[in-house]
Amino acid sequence: MNAEDFDATGPRGPGQRAGLTRGAVLDAARTVLSEGGAGTLTMRGLARRLEVAPNALYSHVSSRDDLLDALLDDVLGLVGVPSPGLADPLDGIRTIMTSTYSVLIEHAVLVPVFLVRQGARGVNAVRLGVLMDAMLRRAGVEESAVAEARRVLIVHTIGFAAFSTAVDTPVGRSADPPRAFLRSLDWLLTGMTAPRSRR
């Protein structure tokens, strides 16, 4: 058990008394999603699967939405990021976006959750957002447009992943970004970084 799961210096919550960890809660939630989709994931159902009382879950997540956000942010920890010394910021953005696409395809059951929750929240989402914003600035995107440019890129990537996972063929479900995604990503980046006179 990790220190974050049990604090011997203070009172234990119901989840800690039950021997439950946040990792175990997320693992069980992922299993439920893979078996039946987001509509089947409830706090009571998850508690039954873990053989604990429902209030034991609230030591680790505050609500179902918090649980979904934790699942989304957890999978974003798998997204690859460019090396710190990468010279071309557009290559860095491509790295993050193509890796995000591949991660979403590999965890297709979470794609509808990304749509419902309109993205992700949490430390990994913030970390990726900070990196993207810095690279967009380096690429010449005006400060007033950086946040909007980031959102457009994220929506584009999630949307492409949603379309791809809806196609029930080996090609459609390939984790490798399709040519159309890569080409449209370049179109977006070209438009975002074009001089104002050319827009």
CA-to-CA distance for 64 and 115, rounded, in angstroms? 16
User: Quick one: DSSP state of residue 10?
Assistant: S
Considering the entire predicted model, what is its pTM? 0.81
How many residues are listed for the chain in this entry?
A: 199
Structure confidence at residue 160 (pLDDT): 93
Structure confidence at residue 18 (pLDDT): 54
**Other C-beta atoms lying within 10 Å of the C-beta of residue 118:** 11
Residue 121 backbone zone (phi > 0: left; psi -120 to 50: alpha; other: beta) = beta
Structure confidence at residue 17 (pLDDT): 47
CA-to-CA distance for 82 and 135, rounded, in angstroms? 10
Structure confidence at residue 174 (pLDDT): 63
**Other C-beta atoms lying within 10 Å of the C-beta of residue 197:** 5
Residue 86 backbone zone (phi > 0: left; psi -120 to 50: alpha; other: beta) = beta
Structure confidence at residue 194 (pLDDT): 84
The per-residue pLDDT string of the chain (199 residues; one tens digit each, 9 = 90 and over) reads 333 443 444 444 544 445 799 999 999 999 998 888 888 899 999 999 999 999 999 989 999 999 999 999 999 999 999 987 788 999 999 999 999 999 999 999 899 888 888 778 889 999 999 999 999 999 999 999 999 999 999 999 999 999 888 765 444 456 678 899 999 999 999 999 987 655 4
In order of their start, the domains of the chain are: 1-61 (1.10.10), 75-198 (1.10.357.10)
Helices (H), 83-178: 89-106, 111-117, 123-138, 146-166
Residue written as tokens 């439950």?
Answer: 20
Please answer whether residues 81 and 67 qualify as being in contact, where contact means their C-beta atoms are separated by less than 8 angstroms.
Answer: no
CA nearest to 22, candidates 75, 77, 78, 74: 74
